[in-house]
Amino acid sequence: MFKIKRAYEPPESGDGVRFLVDRFWPRGVTKDALEIAAWARDAAPSKELCQWFAHEADRWDEFQQRYRAELDANAAALEPILDAARQGTVTLVFGARDTEHNNAVALKHYLETKGL
């Protein structure tokens, strides 16, 4: 099972294994506070895609398509997340303010629709 959570929310016991899935480290948050297993930077959207998207909701559909293409081309980046998911719950941690239009939401959807 996959969950998503903002980096600014405290970890909880039900989070399972936590991965930061952003290209950039969330401001003002320490590694200890995040309690992540790993920073899955390579599973995050490219810098260019992040800059193009700029969290503009009207670009959401196109962002998801482009991000899925990046993920398809870089399946190895998902292996640590998938390995953890085979064992139990995985929480995808993100820093964006928008909780509906961000890469963690898109990644969760991608993993679920792929049956992963």
pLDDT at 8: 96
Cα separations in angstroms, 54 against 32, 38, 39: 28, 25, 21
C-alpha 14/C-alpha 62 separation (Å) is 32
- Average pLDDT for 39-66: 94
Instruction: Band the pLDDT of 116: cuts 50, 70, 90.
Output: low
- Average pLDDT for 60-75: 95
Which residues, in sequence order, are CB contacts of 4 under 8 Å at separation 6+?
Answer: 91, 92, 93, 94, 104, 105, 108
- Average pLDDT for 8-26: 95
pLDDT at 39: 96
In the predicted model, is pLDDT for residue 28 greater than 80? yes
C-alpha 52/C-alpha 85 separation (Å) is 30
DSSP for residue 26: P
- Average pLDDT for 43-71: 94
